[in-house]
């Protein structure tokens, strides 16, 4: 059992190596996990409302997140933890995010 989120986990995305994953929660945060050690390896970054969907870029360097009821999507640098793009605003709820196969579009 991985402990860290304060609310239910809404989404999970695995890295291709199968050693790590990122979870998104209704506690408004994402967390990166080392699956072998069973521990959190990166602290939380978040939205002002629930995280609804996440996706890791093909380069494994970017994380896209959506805050559904916040009506936004954001892109984070996985190495620095900093926001690199967004928030991208929508007129409706953003319930899914996905990078294009080449990682150049969200």
41-52 tens-digit pLDDT? 876 666 777 889
pLDDT band of residue 38 (cuts 50, 70, 90) is confident
pLDDT at 5: 85
pLDDT band of residue 53 (cuts 50, 70, 90) is very high
pLDDT at 12: 94
64-73 burial: b if 16+ Cβ within 10 Å, else e:
bbbbbebbbb
pTM of the model: 0.88
64-78 tens-digit pLDDT? 998 877 889 999 999
CA distances from 75 to 20, 47, 83 (A): 19, 11, 6
């Amino acid at each position: 059992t991985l402990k860290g989120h304060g609310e239910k986990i809404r989404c999970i995305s695995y890295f291709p190596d199968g050693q790590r994953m990122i979870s998104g929660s209704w506690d408004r945060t994402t967390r990166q996990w080392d699956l072998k050690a069973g521990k959190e390896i990166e602290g939380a970054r978040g939205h002002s409302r629930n995280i609804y969907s996440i996706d890791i870029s093909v380069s494994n360097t970017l994380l896209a997140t959506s805050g559904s009821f916040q009506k936004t999507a954001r892109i984070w640098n996985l190495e620095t933890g900093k926001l690199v793009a967004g928030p991208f605003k929508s007129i409706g709820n953003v319930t899914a995010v996905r990078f294009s196969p080449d990682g150049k579009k969200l």
